[in-house]
Amino acid sequence: MSAMWAHDNTVTRANGRIAETLILSFDNRMSLEHRKAATQNFLLEVTFDEQIKAVAFLHDNDPENLHAHVVVIDSNEDGEPVGHFGRSGTFRREHSPVKGNPTEWLRKQWEDSCNAVLEEHEYDFRVDRRSLDKRLEAT
């Protein structure tokens, strides 16, 4: 972790953002092993196969609120941004593997990463990145 922060301190930032932070929610029916696997899958996706740095902290002290805090630093080893999460859509279209809205892209990566683990281990449910309101609108 300290190496991650040390690396980020060498990067010049135009907008003062040092990282993207997000929270992943888990269904309480998932085992710890499977929560870890889903998180690892997600980290590989959002770091573009480890081109940039990310770390996750799983919280399981409340079985009704299983979640992980994720910190993503969008700089490669040369200090260059890869995902350009904080940049405009126009800029990202030309320079980033993230197309469209970064929040929606991150939600899709989580949905796919978590559902792959759920399917592999034959859980009878899946996660849905849409808000409850959006899911209700669809029905």
Q: How confident is the model at residue 114 (pLDDT cuts 50, 70, 90)?
A: very high
Q: What is the pLDDT of residues 22-80, one digit of tens each?
A: 999 999 999 999 999 999 999 999 999 999 999 999 999 999 999 999 999 998 889 88
Contact 75, 44 (CB under 8 A): no
> Per the structure block, which two tokens stand in for 32?
């710890």
Question: How many structural domains does the chain have?
Answer: 1
Note the residue count of the chain.
139
Phi, psi of 85 (to 5 degrees): -60, -35
Q: Are strands 53-59 and 20-25 parallel, antiparallel or unpaired?
A: unpaired
* Strand order from edge to edge, sheet including 53-59: 20-25, 67-73, 53-59
CATH number at residue 56: 3.30.930.30
73 lies in which domain range?
2-138
